[in-house]
Structure 1
Amino acid sequence: MTNAERAMVMLLEDESDPGKHAVTPEVEGSSDGFVLSNGQDDEYPDEDTVPIGEALRIVEHIVGTGSWPADARWVVDC
């Protein structure tokens, strides 16, 4: 999910998996404009999202290899 500047990148193994998501823990602030298909407009802390270029790199790696990039920072969602 993206607001065109930052993206929330999540990886789920299956329906019951809480997943993990990409982070940039060194940044502060928050960004809005993450619009869901039902029209809901969400805001996320910037530390829980990544810049759009990094998001594209992470997704390209996952699609190409089936695994999370070794150098990408992420947290497990509980």
Structure 2
Amino acid sequence: MPESWAVDGDHLAPDEVVAALRARISAGHRETWLTSESGRMLAFVTNTERAMVMLLDGEGDPGEHAAAPEATGSSDGFVLSNGQNDEYPDTDTVPIGEALRIVEHVVREGSWPADAHHVSDR
């Protein structure tokens, strides 16, 4: 049975995740945390062009993050819910479309897509 994931307590089916993230971005929410019934956490932080996607086993776990090893430069505008504006190397973020695909896959399958680069931060 697949893991159940929620945003702010609202459970989402895998086919609802992308629409929910797009709606949050449109409403100005660039940081979203999805939590699973097992305690895993999936973070999505975007500047609307690229996104940082992190998968953690639980609170305090450094986890893993999606990566674009071929990317160069850095991007800013990753605004957290506390107002902090972060800048990340582009190698540590992925284009928004890829990020949404990764999040949907993790919610659906429980793991990274086989073709998605990711880096362990553990």
Tell me the TM-score range normalised by the shorter chain.
over 0.9
Q: Which has the higher contact order (CA 8 A, sep 6+)?
A: 1
| Mapped partners of 2:47, 2:60: distance in 1 | 27
Following superposition of structure 1 onto structure 2, how do residues 28-43 of structure 1 map, counting pairs within 5 Å?
28-43=72-87
Q: How many percent identity over aligned positions? A: 76
Structure 2 residue runs of 5 or longer lacking an equivalent are 1-44
Match of 2:57 among 13, 16, 22: 13
Aligned to 2:96: 52
TM-score (norm 1): 0.96
Q: What is the total number of aligned residue pairs between the two structures? A: 78
Q: Which residue of 2 aligns with 1:63?
A: 107
Cα separation, 2, equivalents of 1:27 and 1:77:
19
- The structure that is strand-richer by fraction is 2
Structure 1 gaps, min length 5:
none
Q: RMSD of the alignment, in Å?
A: 0.8
Q: Is the radius of gyration larger for structure 1 or structure 2?
A: 2
Once residues 86 and 60 of structure 2 are traced to their aligned partners in structure 1, the CA distance between those partners, rounded to angstroms, is 23
